[in-house]
Amino acid sequence: MNTIKPKHQRLVLALVALAALVGAALLAIWGLRSQASYFYVPQELVASPPAPDRAVRLGGMVEQGSLKTEADGVTISFVVGDGKARVPVRFKGIVPSLFVEGSGVVAEGKRAADGTFVADNLLAKHDEKYVPREMQDMTAEQAKQVVAETR
């Protein structure tokens, strides 16, 4: 009788498991390849623009005075800048409540042939100076006391 030794059985099992893991990883990468959304700031988008059909994210600041609502009432256009470059953006849909001029924004969409970024989704970024409603009218000393009491 010609049987496989236990040592060789474990080796074969380990190799099969390794091959299955590599196969699963490759399958996941292949399946997600078109779902990857790259992040650009205006300077990068202007310097080396992605293909017009490629979904990307554009992040920057909404420039003051650039926000315009079109006649249909649901389409807006504005300019996103980073201090080095400017990108015109067009969005049709419901605008987030935190979206205002001078604030940060991440727009998800595609670059049109004319250079305008056509956004499918807007993510408004709030400033880093968030204060809870309950603490807005407190002095700095009162706020420190409240924080100390909650510890």
Query: 118 lies in a domain?
Result: yes
Query: 87 lies in a domain?
Result: yes
Do 30 and 51 reside in the same domain of the chain? no
Whole-structure pTM value:
0.63
Do 30 and 42 reside in the same domain of the chain? no
Give 42: exposed, middle or buried? Use CB within 10 Å, 0-12, 13-18, 19+.
Answer: buried
The model's pLDDT over 31-55, given as tens digits with 9 standing for 90+, comes to: 776 555 688 999 999 998 888 878 8
Do 62 and 28 reside in the same domain of the chain? no
Do 30 and 45 reside in the same domain of the chain? no
- Which residue segment(s) compose the domain that 71 sits in? 38-125
Do 70 and 1 reside in the same domain of the chain? no
Do 50 and 115 reside in the same domain of the chain? yes
Above 60 in pLDDT, residue 1? no
Do 75 and 7 reside in the same domain of the chain? no
Query: 78 lies in a domain?
Result: yes
Do 21 and 43 reside in the same domain of the chain? no
Between CA 24 and CA 54 the distance in angstroms is 26
Query: 93 lies in a domain?
Result: yes
The model's pLDDT over 40-95, given as tens digits with 9 standing for 90+, comes to: 999 999 998 888 878 899 999 999 999 999 999 899 999 999 989 999 999 999 99
Q: How many domains does the chain have?
A: 2
Do 92 and 107 reside in the same domain of the chain? yes
Cβ neighbours for 101, distance < 8 A, ≥ 6 positions apart: 62, 63, 64, 65, 66, 67, 78
